[in-house]
Amino acid sequence: MGKKNGLGFWRYKEDSKGKPKKEEDAAVDDLLASVNQPKRDFSDDEIIARMMIPMINEVVRCLEEGIIASPAEADMALVYGLGFPPFHGGAFRWLDTQGSAKYLDMAQQYQHLGPLYEVPEGLRNKARHNEPYYPPVEPARPVGSLKTA
């Protein structure tokens, strides 16, 4: 299957330089017609939500089940291991920035997509009580209030 054998989802025909070029195979379209769904355009926000919700739910489950020790541990692993955007600080920091209640509202719009989109009960409780995963950060004191020796 594939380019080497010239079989599979694509047909490979040589271009003018003799290199294989893939083309759609009409026979594959006919075979898949009964299971294909119509093509749909997704907004950037919808793509982000569909990717973030399962990841957030899973990392919260990992914390609840003791697989990870802290939100910071998960965030470090996601930033350094998975490539989560560092300026967001990781999944838990992103979740705290969004707010659990806002996240819950967003996630409920996608629950029809299956179990990956079901919000864990611990996160639902955090949303009900408006609790963050990280403790609130004290604002820095103004520089003029520091005393020098």
CA distance 107 to 101: 10
| Category of 6 on φ-ψ map: left (φ > 0), alpha (ψ -120 to 50) or beta | left
Which residue type is seen at 113?
L
Contact between 60 and 123 (Cβ < 8 Å): yes
- Residue 115, CA distances (Å) to 54, 65, 67, 118, 134 in order: 9, 17, 20, 5, 26
DSSP 38: P
**Domain extents in the chain:** 1-34, 44-129
Choose among 56, 67, 77: nearest CA to 120.
56
Cα–Cα–Cα angle for 51, 56, 58, nearest 5°? Answer: 105
Residue-wise pLDDT tens digits, 116-145: 999 999 999 999 999 999 998 788 777 666
- Answering whether pTM is above 0.85, one says no
Look-up: residue for tokens 């409780």?
125
Q: Which phi and psi angles does 91 have, rounded to 5°? A: -65, -45
Q: For domain 44-129, give the fold.
A: N-(1-d-carboxylethyl)-l-norvaline Dehydrogenase; domain 2 (1.10.1040)
CA distance 43 to 113: 17
Percentage of residues in the chain having pLDDT higher than 70: 91
Instruction: For the chain, count helices (H), then strands (E).
Output: 6, 2
Hey, what's the torsion of the CAs at 63, 69, 74, 76, to 10 degrees? 170
Q: How confident is the model at residue 114 (pLDDT cuts 50, 70, 90)?
A: very high
Mean pLDDT of the chain: 88
